A and B are shown apart, each in its own frame.
Chain A
């Protein structure tokens, strides 16, 4: 699976939108872009994934650049509960490893 680059940490205020960037310049045509998050003292939790088009679900939105070399996870209105480490992970649709490769992710701090 290709490598991703994320900022180590970001800070935002409660009830404001948050944009978490991820660079993946070596992404291949069949790699899906997945986001997971890990709340304090919990296991990772799936957030969203996409291939080419922007995606929305109840938790977040995923904006994917036209060249797919970067993406942005958007939390439309952050709450204190959104404070977590956010991981951007590329997963190939075909063969490759079973295990997800977690990087260091982005530590999102939400100020009240």
Chain B
């Protein structure tokens, strides 16, 4: 069964350092997303990406964050200067249709990258 893969599974970094989280979405999917989940809290939407540009972003996705699809397979989330409050699980997801809408309905999530900022 096709799956979304994420690397690294866990990254520890110092405050102020840049971090890049990588994702390989399912190959025929067109829409890509990043979500985050702070320990013990809800899963929160960060950004969606389609046709090589950001489709939508939440208030959390400020100037410290950026996304890129550098080649035909990878989708990355960069945090420019990490803060303590960026410590969370970051989930990548992909779907055939926008926001998993219409009748297909399904977003496929990766297993996540745990980011710990010290």
Q: Residues of A with Cβ closer than 8 Å to B?
A: 32, 34, 36, 38, 41-46, 49, 51, 87, 91-94, 96-104
Contacts and interface: CB of A to CB of B under 8 A. Distances in A.
A104 B43 CA distance: 8
A51 B58 CA distance: 27
Interface string B96-118: 00111111011111111000000
Contacts of A101: 45
B101 to A, nearest CB: 6
For chain B, the bracket of interface size reads 20 to 34
B105 A100 contact: no
A38 B102 contact: no
A35 B105 CA distance: 10
B51 to A, nearest CB: 13
Interface of B: 4, 31, 33, 35, 42-46, 48, 55-56, 58, 91, 93, 98-103, 105-112
28 contacts: A34-B100, A43-B109, A43-B111, A44-B93, A44-B107, A44-B109, A46-B100, A46-B105, A46-B106, A49-B106, A91-B100, A91-B105, A96-B99, A97-B45, A97-B56, A98-B33, A98-B56, A98-B98, A99-B33, A99-B45, A99-B99, A100-B35, A100-B43, A100-B45, A100-B99, A100-B100, A102-B44, A103-B42
Contacts of A44: 43, 91, 93, 107, 109
A48 to B, nearest CB: 9
